[in-house]
Chain A
């Protein structure tokens, strides 16, 4: 038995935590990438902000897209609802409301994450410190995930936690994959891809803890098509989009009234199944990832309509229904 309001809280708690983790990964990917950038290359800080879909808000707060500003915006800015600090704060609020359902250690861990984030948000960080803070955050987030797996009944509440987590993860994976679009490399000899391009993709894989697995299970070469294909279509790597969709399907299968959300899920699945090499080529890549993001948004809408918003139609004999 799960209240609609409770289901929504759990779902968002998970989404916020996952978003915080993936924003940390996105930042790490960016930092890696900057270190490997060859002479003559250009990195567009404003592109990074576009990737997370927060361009308009950024412009209201900061005069220009500089590294320091963008990092502050993504890590600690209170005014950015998508900053890591804000995400952890919202996750904690949702967790606090749901303390009756969640294991006690989970609340304590999320609360500790928030307290740490609050301390760190007071001052601007240098590279080294930022890296450490983000690693800690990711580790805490993994501890939360472990607690859910091992210390909580895999009940209805659990289904909503995992549902939110995987929807968010799939979405963020597509955004992180888009990050190389922010880099403009000078052309290599004969207009071929610049030799540094491969290094950038290594950075992307590392940021998603995917390099090792890519080596074992992905294609031989590390290049754009290979990495995007792997992180979208690999059914075994847990941060790949298709893996997340399969996970969402499993969770939905355990819930009542799942027809509409499952239908939305199949649409997303089918698009990826039908994807060709052409769809992953550099000039089409951004558009392809955009389409996946739209499909994911539709799954969310359908889950929200089915479970979070009470339908009067479900209650033929109530006052609310009679007066409706």
Chain B
């Protein structure tokens, strides 16, 4: 089909597929030739087949307050995002470096707090951190690792630089969609996998199992792993059940578990109680243990923290790991890397203005129409103000919030997220994307090959969250052909 590449480029942003001269980038050339050789109807037909497969396979996500229907089909765009293997290798090193440093940081905060004493990380930020859990002080999980699973959001700005937008260290989600997207692409476009040299993504679940198994307190025995889900109404339930299936874990809810007077975690089975060694939890700290955190939590397990502190059960991510998943802490990651590893950061941070600093705050308030303002502790895109696209009223409200709680907000320049050709109606149009690789750490490090590419489907939109009109694409790390 005629891709209309000469008409395609409209903005001054960076396009992942087409170079400024209108020619496909080297890594995308094979894909581009293939698409041009494909009849327009053929592409539409395959898209229809993919959509049907998504419904039949029941790949869904859930949105809150949706009334009758709790699950929706996962919006998927069949044109992949392509990245050259050489570039990815560099990012991969950066991701490993970053998580290593973050884990050293978390472990330090809950123990000696050297980084605070050395004046690198401000004490008042720690004192005001919502996700610092005093209940975790003095704990030292195996390998010194607290954040075992990290979803790092990457974006590319108009000059081509890849930035880390945030580190999701609490309960990052999306990896199942990354895996399912690849399965969908293989079934819809099998011939592409012969034409292009695409690196596989399916090593993730093995790595996840290995990472969790290494945490088991009962060494030498086959560990019993449970994935703790809030239940079927959670937006990521599909993923919970998918991952449990893939790693052979028991998918449990809080009510399936109990902690004995021996401080061991058990699950209730048809044959009585069975010990649990490792809990891959997909619920927030707040809900983990009503004895210690929120008393009204119906999702957690009484005594879980006691069992964890005794070392009778491993929890991934460890309680309290979210202290580093804070957009104000984020701004310090370059210093954190330097401090613990004595290395320069391989991946760039987006320049950030921290509202708790008076000068930064004044700058933010004076430039609300140019900046993106983010709450320090939200996820899922909630509470974000995108200055250039916001109404004056929304900006005014955000200004009030920032003044009331300076520690709770930070701001960044509005990046022009890079674009990828996306099937819109009958044609192809550029849409903004980000990318979320997943990094694992326990006795060793692992990073996914590429990650989940999320795409903002409405024209011009920069919000890629599935809860707010985002879709996703397969992500190809390809070996460039000469």
Asked if chains A and B come from one complex, the reply is: yes
Binding site for B on A (CB under 8 A): 1-7, 93, 96-101, 104, 107-108, 111-112, 115, 156, 255-257, 306-307, 310, 314-315, 317-320, 322
> Would you call B241 and A322 a contact (CB within 8 A)?
no
- At the interface, yes or no: B269 with Cβ under 8 Å from chain A? yes
> Would you call A1 and B250 a contact (CB within 8 A)?
yes
What 4 pairs between A and B have smallest CB-CB spacing?
A100-B245, A100-B244, A256-B271, A99-B241
Contact digits for B246-267, partner A, Cβ 8 Å, 1 yes 0 no: 0001111101101111100011
- At the interface, yes or no: B390 with Cβ under 8 Å from chain A? no
Give the residue of A2, A93, A101, A318 whose beta carbon is less than 8 angstroms from that of B269.
Answer: A2
A108-B57, A111-B56 as given contacts; A7 in contact with B258, CB under 8 Å? no
- At the interface, yes or no: B123 with Cβ under 8 Å from chain A? no
> Would you call B56 and A310 a contact (CB within 8 A)?
no
Chain B residues with CB below 8 A from A3, complex form: 250, 252, 256, 267-270
Residue of B nearest to A92 (CB): B58
Chain B residues with CB below 8 A from A317, complex form: 260-262
> Would you call B266 and A315 a contact (CB within 8 A)?
yes
A5-B256, A96-B58, A108-B57 as given contacts; A319 in contact with B302, CB under 8 Å? yes
Bound-state CA distance A98–B270 (Å) is: 16
> Would you call B56 and A115 a contact (CB within 8 A)?
yes
Chain B residues with CB below 8 A from A307, complex form: 270
A-B CB contact pairs (8 Å), 18 listed:
A1-B250, A2-B271, A4-B269, A5-B253, A5-B255, A6-B250, A100-B242, A107-B58, A108-B57, A108-B58, A111-B55, A115-B55, A307-B270, A310-B268, A314-B272, A315-B273, A317-B260, A319-B302
Give the residue of B245, B250, B260 whose beta carbon is less than 8 angstroms from that of A99.
Answer: B245
> Would you call B274 and A1 a contact (CB within 8 A)?
yes
B298 to chain A, nearest CB (A): 14
Contact digits for B43-72, partner A, Cβ 8 Å, 1 yes 0 no: 000000000000111100000000000000
Chain B residues with CB below 8 A from A97, complex form: 232, 241
Residue of B nearest to A257 (CB): B271
In the complex, how many residues of chain B place their beta carbon closer than 8 angstroms to a beta carbon of chain A?
33
Bound-state CA distance A319–B266 (Å) is: 11
A257 to chain B, nearest CB (A): 7
> Would you call B245 and A315 a contact (CB within 8 A)?
no
B92 to chain A, nearest CB (A): 30
Bound-state CA distance A96–B272 (Å) is: 25
> Would you call A99 and B261 a contact (CB within 8 A)?
no
> Would you call B258 and A318 a contact (CB within 8 A)?
yes
A218 to chain B, nearest CB (A): 38
Residue of B nearest to A256 (CB): B271
Residue of A nearest to B226 (CB): A3
Chain B residues with CB below 8 A from A7, complex form: 270
> Would you call A315 and B255 a contact (CB within 8 A)?
no
A96-B58, A319-B259 as given contacts; A2 in contact with B270, CB under 8 Å? yes
Q: For residues 218 through 253 of chain B, which have their beta carbon under 8 Å from a beta carbon of chain A?
A: 224, 232, 241-242, 244-245, 249-253
> Would you call A4 and B270 a contact (CB within 8 A)?
yes
Residue of B nearest to A4 (CB): B268
Bound-state CA distance A3–B272 (Å) is: 9
- Most chain B Cβ neighbours within 10 Å, of A98, A115, A315: A315
> Would you call A318 and B273 a contact (CB within 8 A)?
yes
> Would you call A101 and B274 a contact (CB within 8 A)?
no
Chain A residues with CB below 8 A from B58, complex form: 96, 107-108, 111
Q: A5-B268, A100-B242 are in contact. List 7 more A-B contacts (CB 8 A).
A: A1-B271, A3-B252, A4-B270, A112-B56, A256-B271, A306-B270, A317-B262
